[in-house]
Structure 1
Amino acid sequence: MDEDRGEVVLYWRPGCPYCMKLRFRLLFTRLPVRKVNIWRDPDAAAFVRSVADGNETVPTVTVAGHPMVNPSHRQLLAAVREHAPHLRNDQG
């Protein structure tokens, strides 16, 4: 999704324990994250399917337009360092 360029977008759905865990961990990073509920946004759900082998696997995250399916907290922060260092706030 072109509007994801330059930011971190977390695609999630209600009830997903992996989404909740990643969202909780991100609270302590002070990293600006736009959250998109794929159950409320059909275009977002279609995007997730396009990068997750046809599945609605969440969390899916884009970092400056680079998609990551079910990334760990560490993988997400490494992607921020590589693709969007302007977003860093000493998040570790």
Structure 2
Amino acid sequence: MMRAWILPMLFVLFGSAVATASALKGEPGTAVALLLVFVLLAGVNSPLIFPRSVGALEAERRSAVDGRPVVFWRPGCTYCLRLRIRLGGDARRLHWVDIWRDPAGAAVVRAANDGNETVPTVVVAGRPYVNPGHEWVREQLSRSA
């Protein structure tokens, strides 16, 4: 769990240092703007922007029932973030598995990617797809409905 928060915490700490330096120079407006940018970057790279993750076994069970894809992701992954943002509200309909929190999920991803933890890996009907486009994922989601 802690590993998922390292990058956001670094953004906040670095942003605080930069904002403090700017404030000490007598530029409070710049300091506030910089701090807001770094807090925004921390939020975007935190697990908070993603729907609640479930375990790989639970996601696979749910997917077998409703046919919706399973997305294996990890915090700090720019490709995962891009997929999440481009899916918009549809992302909440998918089953998300954080591979840093779930060893079984990490094992699924490694098995699909020759031992590498390449994410996002999307599993549809038991078949993995590595870093698919958001339109393709949305299409798979609409097929399951």
Structure of larger gyration radius: 2
What TM bracket, shorter-length normalisation?
A: 0.7 to 0.9
Q: Which moved more, 1:70-79 or 1:35-44?
A: 70-79
Long gaps (5+) in structure 2:
1-56
Partner SS for 2:80: helix
In the alignment, what sits opposite 1:86? 144
- 1:7 matched to 2:68? The reply is yes
The residue aligned with 1:77 is: 138
Once the two structures are superposed, the pairs formed by residues 10-89 of structure 1 within 5 Å of their partners are 10-29=71-90, 32-80=93-141, 85-87=143-145
Structure with more relative contact order (C-alpha pairs < 8 Å, separation 6 or more): 1
Structure (1 or 2) with the greater strand fraction: 1
**Which whole-Å CA distance do the structure 2 matches of 1:86 and 1:31 have between them?**
14
Percent of aligned pairs with the same residue?
48
- Give the Cα separation in 2 of the matches to 1:66 and 1:31: 21
SS in 1 for 2:117: coil
Report the count of equivalent residues: 84
Q: Could you state the TM-score of these two structures normalised by the residue count of structure 1? A: 0.76
- Over the residues paired in the alignment, what is the CA RMSD in angstroms? 2.0
Contact persistence 2:123–2:129 (CA under 8 A): yes
Unmatched 5+ stretches in structure 1 = 88-92
Distance 1:11 1:64 in 2: 14
